[in-house]
Structure 1
Amino acid sequence: MNKAETALVNSPPRRWLQRFYEAQVLMRFGGRLIPGARVLEIGCGSGYGTQLVLERFGAGSVDAVDLDPAMIEHAGRRLARYGDRVRLVQGSATDLRAALDAEDGGYDAVFDFGIVHHIPDWRAAIAEVARVLTPGGRFYFEEVTAHALARPIYQRLFDHPTEDRFTADQFLDQLAHHGLAVLGSVTRISGDYLLGVAAKPVPTGSDG
């Protein structure tokens, strides 16, 4: 993210929107987490999303990854009071095995507070989300679509990949491609923003 977007995502209005609107929508679709849930947040930024996942969604622990070492440092200060319930690692959402030694099916939930649209190989990021979710695990997502990124104000102020952007339908189709079933989703402002929750099905005959 460039300086303008970094300032925006760390601003009080953005925090208010996350806490009082986005978190409520995501909880409506996916509910609170199971007690003691092990959670991953991709693109944790300054750690505010991780704080919400712990406090509002009831995560037992959160592993959080971000490419920017400055954001990891910032998040470390914000989240220090949670102790060993939080692990912060610099790394890529497209290779969680390298970043976190993340095994297949290791997480009960994954959260994406608007990071996938920053990733040039966004399909690889979704593939990783599907890989690391346990059967029955949930993917909570809030994303900015190609429709929004084509708006002049976005092009003027922010820095995003210019190729292979996704629409809301393309994002949801990619979830289905990797076997994730959408429990509920909604778009806002003519398809600019997509919020929803998807689940990794439990195999037939499993006791999970």
Structure 2
Amino acid sequence: MSKKFLIALGLSAVSLLAQATPINLISNGSFESVSLANGSWGTYGSLSGWTVGPQNVEIRNNVAGSAYAGLNFVELDTSRNSWISQNFTTIIGQTYHLSFMWANRPDQVGANSNGISWQVAALDGVVGKNTITSWTQFDLDFVATGTSTTLRLGATGASDGMGTSLDAVSVTQLPPAAAKSTVPEPGSVALLAMAAGALFVARRRKA
């Protein structure tokens, strides 16, 4: 078995693995661009990747809860309700998947104080209008109507600085309707196995 064939087989396997991993179209979705010491927090008028509302955004590291992903998470009710938004490139008619994690503060003061509104494409809604304090995942499929789509996330409820936490925001492009799973097809699995086997045989011969 030639070295060129092994290289081509290995590159094909890497390509298949890359295709099986969705790419997040949201920049800084886990809010890790800000460096905060453990047990600290701050309010910011700008945030990498995001447009920030006039009431700023509150970023926390292990304060009034802990992050779902990484070290940081945000609250959109600073001293008053605020919001963040981000534009991302889309293909008209293509289906995308929005996902984010939300949780109410452990010291929250009731459902009327909580909630995050979301808007994407022509859809909108609210999550977190309750007293759930564990991280909960929100998922939504939507169809893009333009070459650029805006995601907007905002605090809702009382403007009292005690809102709902947000983390791990992502938007990924879904495969064609008949194949929404990111699990490789049987043929792809066979190719990966063949590549692994060929590399193993080549190493044994070299040894």
TM-score by length of 2: 0.30
Q: Which has the higher contact order (CA 8 A, sep 6+)?
A: 2
TM-score by length of 1: 0.30
Query: Which of structures 1 and 2 has the bigger CA Rg?
Result: 2
